[in-house]
Chains A and B, each alone.
Chain A
Amino acid sequence: GENVEQHPSTLSVQEGDSAVIKCTYSDSASNYFPWYKQELGKRPQLIIDIRSNVGEKKDQRIAVTLNKTAKHFSLHITETQPEDSAVYFCAASTNDMRFGAGTRLTVKP
């Protein structure tokens, strides 16, 4: 099955800085790549996604890039705010959806 690796496992940035989280996947058939944000004690919630026919997608301060040749995709958060602090998960999907191990992002005021 699909194997998704996510780096870094923890990330600490100063408010206003950018944060980048990177993921790689193994199954070239994967064609859907969502990112989820999970706040403490809550369920994961979709924040942005990208499909394999698109190289980049942006939604306000959040952007995702996909390199299908290299099988990696990244989440970029600009102008970080303390409320961005959470655990972020990437995932790759064909039939099933496999998640990376997560990145704990801390934004310091």
Chain B
Amino acid sequence: DSGVTQTPKHLITATGQRVTLRCSPRSGDLSVYWYQQSLDQGLQFLIQYYNGEERAKGNILERFSAQQFPDLHSELNLSSLELGDSALYFCASSAYPDREGEAFFGQGTRLTVV
């Protein structure tokens, strides 16, 4: 167990809908990263938050948004869902900048858009 908790584990929804994925980082970790992994693909970096502030942004679509709350949990919002958004979404946390890097991954949320 990495200490990073993601909910829900599985999510099935229809095209055009909106969903929210939740991530609770390891205790004490201030940084949260979101990644998208499509079938048999790599880990596409979406966005990073540090202590409530957006730190870095990757290839995140405008239909997607995220935030990190004062208690450090993070949510990834996906709207106007398309079939191509079906993927495994991972959250990772790290103690950056105290220990740069060393990101620990949650078990992921498998999103299926039908």
Task: Give the B-binding residues of A (Cβ under 8 A).
Answer: 1, 31-32, 34, 36, 42-46, 49, 51, 89, 93, 95-102
Contacts and interface: CB of A to CB of B under 8 A. Distances in A.
Nearest to A32: B101
Contacts of B56: 1, 95-96
Given A89-B42, A98-B58, A99-B42, A43 B90 contact: yes
B33 A96 contact: yes
Interface of B: 2, 33, 35, 41-43, 45, 48, 50, 55-56, 58, 90, 92, 94, 96, 100-108
Given A31-B100, A99-B35, A99-B43, 17 more contacts: A32-B101, A34-B102, A43-B2, A43-B105, A45-B105, A49-B101, A51-B100, A89-B42, A93-B100, A95-B48, A95-B50, A96-B48, A96-B56, A97-B33, A97-B48, A97-B101, A98-B45
B106 A1 contact: no
Nearest to B97: A95
A31 B55 CA distance: 17
A32 B104 contact: no
A68 to B, nearest CB: 15
A93 B96 CA distance: 11
Contacts of B106: 43
A98 B41 CA distance: 14
A99 B73 CA distance: 23
Contact of A95 (B41, B55, B105): B55
Contacts of A43: 2, 90, 105-108
